[in-house]
Amino acid sequence: MTGAIATRAAEVPDIVIDVQGLTKSFGGRPVVKNLSMQVHRGLIYGFLGPNGSGKTTTLRMLCGLLTPGSGHGTCLGYDILTQSAEIKRHVGYMTQRFSLYADLSVRENLEFVARVYNLDDPHAAADSAIRRLGLENRASQLAGELSGGWKQRLALGACILPGPELLLLDEPTAGVDPKARRDFWDEIHTLAHQGMTVLVSTHYMDEAERCHEIAYIAYGELLAQGTVDEVIAHAHLATYIVTGPDLAELAERLKAMDGVDMVAPFGTALHVSGRDRARLDAATKDLREQGPQVWSPGEATLEDVFIDLMSRTKDNFA
């Protein structure tokens, strides 16, 4: 299969996903608005955003499962509006909800996928996938009886089986334990290293930081994209990290203040951020000088940035 990828690699443009102005409405309600994005080959591209922001809808449009209301673009060089048959052949899509056959065994599911993609030897393909996934002991277990984490693994295995050039993963690690999550990401990185492009949606910040690039979408609009550092820098968020007693009380007071845009507890500390450093400084001057808490200047985290982005768009919508 790697051979197949290699031969096609020459034809595949360096930009694997290139879409402009994608819009999708359900029953007159727009859920993805004017979305444009470019993803380069071999990158792991994280797709973040609150629930209902349109991540799944976007992924479905990219692989031909939904027809965009307007907009155009290409996926692996194929037109997303007219060449979805070709796209399906070269894209592996892992759905958010487990969508393999619960009443087929692990092996039967994998063989089914192998046959549908016309692999030469479905049995051998399933075998090697089972070995790679470490599912040897569970090969004949029904997929529906696997634990949540193993289901996710099987689903990823089934996606990778036909050797796609682009993986679209929709929250692949939801409900997966930390160790399995790390293995999962190691595997994704290995695949990317071999030239596969991965677009992965997630709600986990640590996973976002493992991506080469990220995009943040809220209420159907793409609000930020770039590397993690770029996204953080672009947000221009001034941040203090506060430690000491009575943080909960302090947080309540801060939230009401003008110039303070975001207050979030992180463990034993409180992150206090503002979009305008001067206003933030002015607003918190007394508190910083009086204590009893200790205020130190800090860096905004990705999560600070996302929460701020989300509250900003919510303000726009209100």
Partner 1 sequence: MSAGAGTDRSAVDRRTRGFRAALTRIYAAFIKELLQLRRDRITFATMIFIPLTQLLLFGYAINTDPKHLPTAVLIQDESSFSRSFVAAMQVSEYFDIRTRATSEEDLDHLILSGRVQFGVQIPAHFGRDLIRGERPAILVVADASDPVAAGGAVAALQGLTTIVFSRDLIGPVASRAPQELPFELRIHRRYNPAGETRLNIVPGLMGTILTLTMLIFTALSVTREVERGTMESLLSMPIRPVEIMLGKIAPYLVVGGLQAGLILGAAKLLFGVPVVGSLGLLVVLTLLFILANLSVGYTFSTIAKSQLQAMQMSFFFFLPNILLSGFMFPFRGMPDWAQAVGEILPLTHYLRIVRGIMLKGATFVDLQVDVLALGLFTLAAMGLAVARFRQTLD
Q: How far is the CB of 113 from partner 1 (least distance, A)?
A: 7
CA distance 177 to 14: 34
List 4, 9, 116, 278, residue binding partner 1 (CB under 8 A): 116
Q: Which does 51 bind (CB under 5 to 8 A by kind): ligand ATP, Mg ion, partner 1, none?
A: ligand ATP
Q: Which two tokens stand for residue 230?
A: 């770029």
CA distance 44 to 211: 5
Q: Are strands 213-218 and 44-48 parallel, antiparallel or unpaired?
A: parallel
Q: Judging by beta carbons within 10 Å of its beta carbon (0-12, 13-18, 19+), is residue 22 exposed, middle or buried? A: buried
**Strand ranges (DSSP E) for the chain?**
15-26, 29-40, 44-48, 70-75, 78-79, 91-94, 166-170, 197-201, 213-218, 221-226, 238-243, 262-266, 269-274, 294-298
Q: How far is the CB of 221 from ligand ATP (least distance, A)?
A: 12
Name the one range near Mg ion by CB under 5 A: 31-39, 92-100, 106-114, 134-142. 92-100
In the complex with ligand ATP, the residue whose CB is nearer, 93 or 240, is: 93
CA atoms within 13 A on the CB side of 309: 27
Q: Does residue 49 interact with ligand ATP by CB under 6 A?
A: yes
Q: Does residue 99 interact with partner 1 by CB under 8 A?
A: yes
Q: Judging by beta carbons within 10 Å of its beta carbon (0-12, 13-18, 19+), is residue 277 exposed, middle or buried? A: middle
CA distance 35 to 282: 38
Q: Does residue 56 interact with ligand ATP by CB under 6 A?
A: yes
Q: Does residue 118 interact with ligand ATP by CB under 6 A?
A: no
Q: Which two tokens stand for residue 119?
A: 């692999």
Q: Which two tokens stand for residue 83?
A: 């060449």
Q: Does residue 7 interact with ligand ATP by CB under 6 A?
A: no
Around Cβ 297, how many Cβ atoms within 10 Å? 10
Name the one range near partner 1 by CB under 8 A: 28-36, 108-116, 130-138, 197-205. 108-116
Q: Which does 103 bind (CB under 5 to 8 A by kind): ligand ATP, Mg ion, partner 1, none?
A: partner 1
Q: Does residue 175 interact with ligand ATP by CB under 6 A?
A: no
Q: Does residue 78 interact with partner 1 by CB under 8 A?
A: no
In the complex with partner 1, the residue whose CB is nearer, 158 or 263, is: 158
Q: Does residue 85 interact with partner 1 by CB under 8 A?
A: yes
Of 249, 259, 312, residue with least CA distance to 281: 259
Q: Does residue 204 interact with Mg ion by CB under 5 A?
A: no
For partner 1, the binding residues (CB under 8 A) are: 60, 63-67, 84-85, 88-89, 91, 93, 95, 97-104, 108, 111-113, 115-118, 122, 142, 158
For Mg ion, the binding residues (CB under 5 A) are: 55-56, 96
For ligand ATP, the binding residues (CB under 6 A) are: 26, 31, 49, 51-57, 96
